Every structure is written in structure tokens, then in C-alpha cells.
Amino acid sequence: MSHFDCDLLVVGLGPVGDVVAGLARLQGLSVIAIDKSQAIYPLPRAAVFDGEIMRVFQMLGIEDELGPYTRIGDRYQFLTANREILLDFPLAQTGPYGWADSYAFHQPALESILRKRIGALGVDVRLGVAATGLRQTDDGVEVTLEGADGAQTVRARYVTGCDGASSLIRSTLGVGLSDYDFDEPWLVIDAEIPSKHAPPVVAQQICDAARPITHLAMAGDRFRWEFMILPGEAPDEISRDDRIRELLAPWGAVEHMRIDRKAVYRFHGLVADRWRVGRVFLAGDAAHQTPPFAGQGMCAGIRDAVNLAWKIAAVVRGEAEGQILDSYQEEREPHARVVIETAIAMGRVVCVLDAKAAAARDAEMLARRATGAQDVSIAYPDLSGALFSNSAAAGSLFPQPVVNGRRFDILLGNSPALIGDDLPGDVPAPIIRLDLGDDRLAPYADALRAWLREQGASSVMVRPDRHVFGVGEAEQLLADWEHALKTPVAA
Ligand SMILES: Cc1cc2nc3c(=O)[nH]c(=O)nc-3n(C[C@H](O)[C@H](O)[C@H](O)COP(=O)(O)OP(=O)(O)OC[C@H]3O[C@@H](n4cnc5c(N)ncnc54)[C@H](O)[C@@H]3O)c2cc1C
């Protein structure tokens, strides 16, 4: 009998811990997941996520339940104080991954749906239980937990520290943070407003040197405002209800607004130096933190979760060597850094308090916009590293065709998939074989063949995290996949 209590111990059940726990369960791992708090975090935080993340929620089977708590965005704009457009990001209603480009949402609603789902999937969820220390052994990790029933040690093959910005797991491992040197204080307010008094349904950064402001319609009757705290202003003073009402007055109907949540945050950019130490991984805010201007902090953490869960499972099942786990930081850190750098670039547009500097910024950006140029891009890069083949499209996200409301991923499940025409009759488990000539593929075959033609290939191997391993000839892809899983990742 195994001397482990679980394959994976997830420390911290914010959105990232929930997702890694749920995906690891779907991969067949035994999972214990703990959170020191009994309740879901009550303060305002994430307000939007993107279509890539909705696709992860689809993997977990919560997309329908989540729907009513989301609002699809149509554009994200940065405006001058006079409401001229500095940056404009139009957002598709159905993007290449089968979902809209952007969803505004209510984070506590998402987290309660996730919590319920991972319980239903069989994750052993323990609330009111804090991790207080850990010790790595030759083949696993012993973690000390403390809860109402006292202290206890859990033995796990692997641990993910999803315990947020002040991660105890990170500090216990002695992992430092590198700092982008961006540090701005903001007041964040969520309000509920009945529809007949609702302000415009927009997602805007108002780059007003007198006070930069974020204004965002969330789902249903909820709206988000973020106000930069000016030098010399005391956070306690500006957070008073009477001051908040003054700040919100320009949007009218303050008497009809119910202030739901408020908090002061310092927006900053931080990245952990190491994301893996032995059998312990850092994910989400424990590994990286970003200013919220790109709406990507939680998204980046969920990308960590989806990158990591299948890899740990492949190693536990003996399908891959332990060294492939080094590909986690190799693949994720460069991507997370681009996200943070994008958010900081946006923040540097927004957080200008000097009137002359703001006027110069406006003049320059408006002139560039008149030529059709835009200063900031939200096209994030593909992944790269040793767990991809050396082919076209490797590292990109595989598209998800949608036909008559049905999405292709339903055929992918949680396994690696070989997709193409005239595939070999047998492929080794757990790879699934999706031959475009099969009837069940028929609705999606045209779109997928067109994509393969663009790559100049007859087949594609897609990893369980929906990233393209590589394209090419099927037998070669199978051999390359086997080799990649069994070959240590280059340092
Ligand atoms: C104002 C603001 C706006 C934002 N907007 C967006 C946005 O629009 N889009 C977006 O994608 N992101 C956004 N973010 C970022 C997003 O909210 C975070 O990145 C995300 O919540 C991090 O999730 P997490 O699971 O990594 O950490 P957390 O949500 O912080 O969860 C960590 C969990 O670990 C638990 N824990 C801590 N220590 C222990 C321990 N020792 N033992 C057991 N449990 C422990 C905590 O109780 C907590 O539940 C925003 C953040 C802020 C502040």
C-alpha cells in the first residue's frame, strides 16, 4: 500500500488552487486541497478573464453554471480626461478558442462554483486548515497542517503552493521575488446598481491626471471602479463611505448604488525566482503578481494550473520522467512576464499625475493612433521549450471550432490527442486518436483541415492543456511525443 495520503496536496483554494485541484482529479490523481479560511475571500479582486480561461472552465465542466455570472465584453478602452481614445482593444464575441475574448465576472461567484465542482469531482477539500511547514523526503513531501482538530502531517507525492501573494510555501522554500519596481496605490470599489439607474456598460481606463480611474461593468447589476490614490492622500480617509460617494458622484444615481466591497491595494509586478523546488511547485499569485490593468493576474495563475496538472499526472502514472516538470517554469515564466510587462505598460499610460506629462502623452498617443498604430498589444506569446516539437504552430493554443453551439474540445477530454487524416490504426494510451474522416469529427473537419493546411501538415498532436505539441506526419509526432516525455528537459 502507498505510504502517501495523496498524489497531490494543493495548499490554498483561491481560483488557482481550485483549478489545479480539479484538473488533477480529472487526470485521475488523488488530491487533498486545503485552505486556511472557511470562507471565500470577501474583497474585490479579479473582474475579467479571457476566452482561454473560459476554455479551462469548460474542461472542468462549469461553463454553463458560470454563464449567468459573466458578461461578455465588446471593447476595452483607455481614454483621455476629455474621453478621446488613446488605446482601443475590440473584443471578439467568439474568439479562436471557442469562447469570447473577454468575460467580466464576479470572483466570489466563480470561486463558489469551482469549490462545489472540485468537491463533486472527488477532491478531498479541507477548509479552516492551514499549512504551517513542509519537509521534502526522497520520494515525496510531508506538510504540517493545523486546523480546529489540531496539527497533522500529510504525506503527498507533490505539492502545489497556490497560497497567494504572501505564500508561506514560497517563503518556506526560501524562494525570493524579483520586482518590476512598479508600485501604485489604488482604491477598488464594487457596487450594485439597479439596471434603471445603471451607468454605461463599458470597460474603460480614464487617464485623467487629476485622478486616474478604472470603470468597468461587471456581470448583472455589478460595477467596478478603481481610483488611484494621490500622493498625500490617506488610504483610510479616501475609503470612507462619504468620500466614496463623492468619487462616484460623476456616474450619477449614487443614492441607488449599494457599495458591495471596497479595498485599497498596491498594484505591483513580482515574479518568484524559482517555481519548482523538488516536488513542490508555486502557482498563481504565489509565483507572480501583476498590476490589474490587463485583467490577467488570475488568468496567468489559471494558465499555471492547466500547464502543471497534466504534467504531474503523467509523471505519477509513469508515462513521463520527473524531469519534464522543469518545463513548468520554462514554459510559464516567460509568458507570465509578458503579461506583467503588458500590464505595467498599460499602467504607465494610466498612472500619470503630472498635467503637462499627461498632455504630452495624449498628444503623442493620439498622433500615433491617427496613423493607425497602437502602443500596447494584448496578443500574448506562444509557449516554447523542450516539451514541444520543432515544428510550425508548436506552443500555440489549438483552436476550438464551434459548430451549432457545440464545441470541439468535448472530443478531446483530458488526454493528449493525435488529430488528422489517415491516422495509424492504433495509438498508445493515453493518447486519443481523432481521425478527421470519422463521423463524429465531421462537424469540425472542415475547420480543422483548413488549420492543418495553413500549417502545411497532415496531423497535429495536442497536449492535454490544449497547446499544440507539434504538427507533421502522424508516426513522427507519436515518436517525438514519446521522446519528449522520456527525455530530460534541457537546463
Ligand atoms: C484590484 C484587483 C483587480 C484584479 N483584477 C483582475 C482581473 O480583472 N483579472 C484577473 O485575471 N486577475 C485580476 N486580479 C488578480 C487576481 O485576483 C489574483 O491573481 C487571483 O485572485 C490569485 O489567485 P490565487 O488562487 O493565486 O491566490 P488567492 O486568490 O489569493 O488565494 C490564495 C488562497 O490561499 C489561502 N492560503 C494562504 N496561506 C495559506 C496556508 N498557509 N494554508 C492554507 N491556505 C492558505 C488563502 O486563504 C487563499 O484562499 C486582480 C487583483 C486585484 C487586487
d(CA 396, CA 98): 15
SS3 216: strand
- For residue 186 the three cell numbers come to 489604488
Share of the chain above pLDDT 90, in %: 94
- Higher pLDDT: 309 or 197? It is 309
Ligand 1 lined by 300 (C-beta under 6 Å): no
Evaluate whether residue 137 is within a structural domain. Answer: yes
Domain boundary (345, 375, 391) is at: 345
From 285, 302, 306, 308, the mutation candidate for ligand 1 (largest count of ligand atoms within 8 A of CB) is 285
Query: What burial class does residue 467 get, using C-beta atoms within 10 Å of its C-beta: 0-12 exposed, 13-18 middle, 19+ buried?
Result: buried
Q: Which domain holds residue 169?
A: 6-67+104-178+269-345
Q: Do 53 and 118 share a domain, yes or no?
A: yes
The finding on whether 48 has its CB within 6 A of some atom of ligand 1 is: yes
Which residue among 35, 69, 189, 282 is best mutated to probe the pocket of ligand 1, counting the most ligand atoms within 8 A of its Cβ? 35
Asked whether 288 and 164 are in contact (CB, 8 A), the reply is no
Q: Which of 303, 319, 345 finishes a domain?
A: 345
Query: Does the C-beta of 301 come closer than 6 Å to ligand 1?
Result: yes
Are residues 415 and 330 located together in one domain of the fold?
no
Among candidate residues 407, 317, 482, the one with its CA nearest the CA of residue 55: 407
Predicted confidence band at 1 (pLDDT cuts at 50, 70, 90)?
Answer: very low
Q: How long a stretch of residues is the chain?
A: 491
pLDDT digits (tens, 9 = 90+) for 199-258: 889 999 999 999 999 999 999 999 999 999 999 999 999 999 999 999 999 998 788 999
User: Within this chain, do residues 142 and 61 fall inside the same structural domain, yes or no?
Assistant: yes
Q: Which three cell numbers stand for residue 3?
A: 505510504
Cβ–ligand 1 contact at 463 (below 6 Å) = no
Instruction: pLDDT band for 375, please (50, 70, 90 cuts).
Output: confident
Q: Are residues 328 and 415 in the same domain?
A: no
- Among protein residues, the one whose CA lies closest to atom 14 of ligand 1: 46
Query: Which residue has better confidence, 491 or 449?
Result: 449
Last residue of one domain, picked from the residues 306, 329, 345: 345
C-alpha cell of residue 46:
479579479
Do the domain assignments include residue 431? Answer: yes
Pocket lining: 188 vs ligand 1, CB cutoff 6 Å: yes
Average pLDDT score over residue span 358-387? 94
How many angstroms separate the alpha carbon of residue 285 from the centre of ligand 1? Answer: 6
In the three-class reduction of DSSP (H, G, I as helix; E, B as strand; rest coil), residue 205 is classed as: strand
Helix (H) or strand (E) holding 48: strand 48-50
DSSP 129: -
* Ligand 1 pocket residue status of 37, Cβ below 6 Å: yes
Q: Does the pLDDT of residue 491 top 50, yes or no?
A: no
* Interval 79-96: pLDDT, tens: 999 999 999 999 999 999
Q: What is the mean pLDDT of the chain?
A: 96
Name the 3-class secondary structure at 197: helix
Q: Identify the pLDDT of residue 384.
A: 96
Q: Is residue 22 domain-resident? A: yes
- Ligand 1: residue of 10, 183, 298, 304 to mutate (most ligand atoms within 8 A of CB) is 298
- Looking at ligand 1, which atom is closest to the CA of residue 226? 1
pLDDT in tens, 316-331: 999 999 999 999 999 9
Residue type, 98: G
The C-alpha atoms of residue 435 and residue 433 are separated, in whole angstroms, by 6
Residue minimizing CA distance to atom 37 of ligand 1: 163
- Ligand 1 binding pocket includes 45 (Cβ within 6 Å): yes
The C-alpha atoms of residue 245 and residue 255 are separated, in whole angstroms, by 9
Same-domain check for residues 53 and 129: yes
The pLDDT of residue 254 is: 87
The secondary structure of residue 213, as a DSSP letter, is E
Closest to 99 (Cα-Cα) out of 405, 322, 437, 412: 405
The strand order across the sheet containing 177-192 reads 85-90, 75-80, 203-207, 213-217, 222-228, 177-192, 258-272, 288-289
Total domain count for the chain?
A: 2
- Does ligand 1 come within 6 angstroms of the Cβ of 265? yes
Q: Give the closest residue to 164 by CA, choosing from 280, 28, 12.
A: 12
Is 470 inside a domain boundary? yes
- Same domain as 478, residue 410: yes
Please state, in angstroms and rounded to a whole number, the distance separating the CA atoms of residues 102 and 86. 20
**60 and 171 in one domain?**
yes
Which whole number is the average pLDDT over 56-72? 97
208's enclosing H/E stretch is none
**Same-domain check for residues 136 and 15:** yes
pLDDT the model gives residue 489: 56
Is the CB of 189 inside a 6 Å radius of any atom of ligand 1?
A: no
Closest of 41, 60, 53, 36 to residue 113, by C-alpha: 60
Q: Is the pLDDT of residue 356 over 70?
A: yes
Clarify whether residues 153 and 36 are in a common domain. Answer: yes
Phi, psi of 89, deg, nearest 5 = -115, 95
Tell me which residue of 447, 311, 453 sits closest to 383, measured CA to CA.
Answer: 311
Cβ(50) to ligand 1 under 6 A? no
308 within domain boundaries:
yes
Residues 164 and 300 in one domain: yes
Strands 102-105 and 222-228: unpaired
Domain membership of residue 381 (yes or no) is no
Whether residues 31 and 108 share a domain: the answer is: yes
Assigned domain for 311 exists: yes
* Pocket of ligand 1 contains residue 131 by CB under 6 Å: yes
- Average pLDDT on 31-57 reads 95
CATH code at position 326: 3.50.50.60
pLDDT at 488 over 70: no
For ligand 1, atom 2, which residue shows the shortest CA distance?
Answer: 45
Overall average pLDDT of the 340-365 stretch? 97
Q: Is the CB of 49 under 6 A from ligand 1?
A: yes
Assess whether pLDDT exceeds 70 at residue 293.
Answer: yes
> Is 191 a domain residue?
no
Quick one: which atom of ligand 1 is closest to the CA of 186? Answer: 1
Residues 136 and 52 in one domain: yes
Residue 487 has pLDDT above 70, yes or no: yes
With a 6 A CB cut-off, is 18 part of the ligand 1 pocket? no
Per-residue pLDDT at 42 = 84
